[in-house]
């Protein structure tokens, strides 16, 4: 029954960030590489088979993309030792029942926790929650188990198969590591999942259901079946196997599909007053969240749906489109997606379309699917904090249908930034937009 009670929403700030990406396995490394214009895209290691055994086994056609944004030199055991003062032996034993996407989430979460300066021993565990998204979950474990079942039989299927593959096990394992007993969930809304996780976590804090949330996304879907599926539907960039770093080219005339990538991004979101009280490092304030559906087609994005989603986020933040200084778009490098999003941004920004900076960081990382929104949110808050917008790689000649926006090309642009928008759109016509603000008391 409606009581007429007025709800005062609490303010939410970002106090810690962590990531595992093709550009580096820490925030500092990834950010430095991004600003330097480096690419994290290369030949996928599993396709480097000089004898051709892998190619022959899977009957790989000549135009099959053998490139990806692959995480390199990742070892969770080393990270557990390096990022914790002491390691519980059980932390190492649990690796046998965690898929790689869970391990990425754990590594990014530990970095974010350390970055935030939180001392979990002095926090109420019931006020800490985790919402970590994944578009594909433990698809590595799915494929491994199915192969063993087909060729070796039931007895060779791991008893850890189910806890390895479930999409909520990243959130579950991070909650165990943090001893968090507050809201615990996993979202799987395709490529909008990371953005939805952050928005949902923000709401939990705004409404007083939690004080601290570890939120974001994780993905490790560089498997033969996953890549084959995207290839067969015509979504992947082809023709760039000899020059992989040039394959991801949002808004460019040469865009022909996305480059699949892996990794994780986790943000520590915190209620403002307690963050200020404990003198936490504050990156930015999360002020707006919009989510909606196109209600039209599962893979053909709708212009009006994106516009409505962005407007919801701006209304939630209480600002006008003209106040935006920077947009990190979804911009996967598919012609249909890039063109529709550029039209949506021009419709939204109107007179400020020529002054609001637009930079697509997928050009350097590739598309991290369910983790993309979280990784790009981190890049967005870093831009606000440092007053610099990274360049869009490979944007050499703007697609005429994408023209009319203030794209950042070739070199970073330094200027004072107050508000930034980060977009994530997913298959199924699901959309997420986040508004961040440079922190001001």
274-279 long-range contacts (CB < 8 A, ≥24 apart) are: 274/211, 275/13, 275/15, 276/441, 278/117
| 358 close to 409: Cβ distance less than 8 angstroms | no
The pTM score is 0.95
The active-site residue out of 196, 255, 309, 367 is: 367
Terminal CA-to-CA distance of the chain, rounded, Å?
36
> What is the token pair recorded at 177?
């590591």
Establish if 1 belongs to a structural domain. Answer: no
Place of tokens 């023709």: 239
Establish if 5 belongs to a structural domain. Answer: no
The active-site residue out of 191, 196, 309, 402 is: 191
Q: What is the mean pLDDT of residues 74-84?
A: 86
Q: Which of 144-148, 332-336, 348-352, 413-417 has the lowest average pLDDT?
A: 144-148
Which pLDDT band, with edges at 50, 70 and 90, does 299 fall under? low
Question: What is the average pLDDT value for the chain, to the nearest integer?
Answer: 93
Establish if 4 belongs to a structural domain. Answer: no
Which CATH number fits the domain that encloses residue 339?
3.40.47.10
Q: What is the mean pLDDT of residues 66-76?
A: 95
Which pLDDT band, with edges at 50, 70 and 90, does 340 fall under? very high
Establish if 348 belongs to a structural domain. Answer: yes
| 381 close to 268: Cβ distance less than 8 angstroms | no
Which pLDDT band, with edges at 50, 70 and 90, does 108 fall under? very high
The radius of gyration of the chain's CA atoms, rounded to the nearest angstrom, is 21
What letter does residue 298 receive in the DSSP assignment?
S
In whole angstroms, what is the distance from residue 94 CA to residue 80 CA?
12
The active-site residue out of 146, 330, 386, 402 is: 330
> What is the token pair recorded at 302?
């709708």
Number of folded domains that form the chain: 1
User: What is the helix (H) or strand (E) element at residue 379, kind and residue range?
Assistant: helix 372-386
Establish if 2 belongs to a structural domain. Answer: no
Residue 196 known to be catalytic? no
| 435 close to 313: Cβ distance less than 8 angstroms | yes
- pLDDT value at position 128? 98
Establish if 3 belongs to a structural domain. Answer: no
Establish if 132 belongs to a structural domain. Answer: yes
Q: Which of 1-5, 47-51, 69-73, 344-348 has the lowest average pLDDT?
A: 1-5
Residue 330 known to be catalytic? yes
Place of tokens 């007083």: 208
Which pLDDT band, with edges at 50, 70 and 90, does 1 fall under? very low
Instruction: Provide the residue range defining the domain that includes 316.
Output: 12-437
Q: What is the mean pLDDT of residues 397-413?
A: 97
Report which of 344, 314, 321, 350 is spatially closest to residue 251, judged by C-alpha positions: 344
| 345 close to 405: Cβ distance less than 8 angstroms | yes
Q: What is the mean pLDDT of residues 167-184?
A: 94
- pLDDT value at position 69? 98
Establish if 285 belongs to a structural domain. Answer: yes
Residue 146 known to be catalytic? no
């Amino acid at each position: 029954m409606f009581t007429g009670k007025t709800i005062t929403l609490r303010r939410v700030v970002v106090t810690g960030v962590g990531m595992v990406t093709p550009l580096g396995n820490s925030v500092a490394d990834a950010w430095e590489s991004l600003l330097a214009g480096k690419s994290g895209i290369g030949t996928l290691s599993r396709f480097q088979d000089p004898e051709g055994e892998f190619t022959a086994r899977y009957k790989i056609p000549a135009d099959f993309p053998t490139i990806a944004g692959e995480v390199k030199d990742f070892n969770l055991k080393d990270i557990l030792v390096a990022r914790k003062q002491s390691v519980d032996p059980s932390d190492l034993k649990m690796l046998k029942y965690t898929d790689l996407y869970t391990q990425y989430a754990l590594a990014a979460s530990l970095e974010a926790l350390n970055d935030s300066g939180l001392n979990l021993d002095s926090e109420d565990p019931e006020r800490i929650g985790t919402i970590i998204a994944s578009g594909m979950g433990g698809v590595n474990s799915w494929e491994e188990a199915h192969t063993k079942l087909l060729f070796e039989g039931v007895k060779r299927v791991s008893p850890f198969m189910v806890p390895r593959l479930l999409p909520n096990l990243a959130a579950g394992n991070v909650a165990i590591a943090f001893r968090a007993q507050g809201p615990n969930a996993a979202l799987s809304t395709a490529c909008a999942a990371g953005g939805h996780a952050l928005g949902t976590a923000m709401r939990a804090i705004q409404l007083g259901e939690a004080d601290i949330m570890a939120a974001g996304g994780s993905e490790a879907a560089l498997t033969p079946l996953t890549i084959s599926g995207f290839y067969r539907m015509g979504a992947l960039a082809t023709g760039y196997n000899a020059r992989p770093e040039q394959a991801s080219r949002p808004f460019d005339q040469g865009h022909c599909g996305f480059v699949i990538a892996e990794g994780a991004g986790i943000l520590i979101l915190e209620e403002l007053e307690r963050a200020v009280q404990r003198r936490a490092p504050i990156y930015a304030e999360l002020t707006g969240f919009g989510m909606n559906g196109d209600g039209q087609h599962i893979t053909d994005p709708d212009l009006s749906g994106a516009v409505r989603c962005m407007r919801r986020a701006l209304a939630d933040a209480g600002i006008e489109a003209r106040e935006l200084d920077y947009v990190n778009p979804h911009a996967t490098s598919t012609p249909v997606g890039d063109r529709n999003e550029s039209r949506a941004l021009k419709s939204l920004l109107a007179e400020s379309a020529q002054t609001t900076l637009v930079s697509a960081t997928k050009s350097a990382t590739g598309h991290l699917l369910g983790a993309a929104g979280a990784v790009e949110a981190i890049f967005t808050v870093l831009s606000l904090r440092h007053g610099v917008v990274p360049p869009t790689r490979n944007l050499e000649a703007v697609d005429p249908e994408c023209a009319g926006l203030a794209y950042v090309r070739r070199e970073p642009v330094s200027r004072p930034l107050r508000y930034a928008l980060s977009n994530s759109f997913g298959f199924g016509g699901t959309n997420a937009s986040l508004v961040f603000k440079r922190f001001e008391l």
